[in-house]
Amino acid sequence: MMKYQLVIFDWDGTLMDSVARIVACMRAAALDCGLPVPEAAAVRHIIGLSLSDAFPLLFGPLAPARADAMLASYRRHYLERDHTPSPLFAGAADTVAGLHQSGYRLAVATGKAREGLDRVLLETGLGRYFHALRGADQARSKPHPLMLEQILDELRLTPDQAVMVGDSSYDLAMAEAIGMDRIGVTYGVHGRDLLCQHTPLTLIDDIRQLPHWL
């Protein structure tokens, strides 16, 4: 018997190796908007949050017009100007497909806006495997658990029937807040020490290890 009915994935840094692209686009947008260009490590640390929550951590309070300009510039770089590769991690597609074939229901809870999530699901061909999707503009930002609560409500499941898989402390804290089991991946934005603060079931170094732990 399967312990879980539902596996919920973060996207950036968990299934897709997009961290370098996010960092490059954030730094370029700051330069465009006349803001101090943040260090790469600082940008990596906020990946997983919605952009509206990330901007104050990187730049301090911003007037609404400047925040809007940053958002527009970031999206322009990400969609049009920056060509940093952002492939799926090795084994991610096969792992998702295999879990789906094994009977798990799958979902995504991401700091991306829903439009961006829909785009990458189409580009990667993984969209057909997921039963529920939540972007940062459809709920409160991680680590608030609203994304997970909405997914559970939609699929009529309880927290003990699901497990969260993510690379950031925000992912694990979100699951911890509602008593959902969680698995950390170590190849994304946050290291082992941060992930372990939220008592994951385990930490994995390769997404292909996930089926074994499930």
Of 152, 115, 164, nearest to 136 by C-alpha is: 115
Active site residue 167: no
H or E element at residue 120 = helix 114-124
- Please tell me which residue in 12, 17, 53, 181 is annotated as part of the active site: 12
- Please tell me which residue in 10, 82, 167, 181 is annotated as part of the active site: 10
Q: Kindly report the backbone phi and psi dihedral angles of residue 103, in degrees, each rounded to the nearest multiple of 5, phi listed first.
A: 105, 0
Active site residue 206: no
DSSP for 37-73 reads PPPHHHHHHHBTB-HHHHHHHHHSS--HHHHHHHHHH
Of 70, 57, 58, 74, nearest to 22 by C-alpha is: 74
Give the catalytic positions in this structure: 10, 12
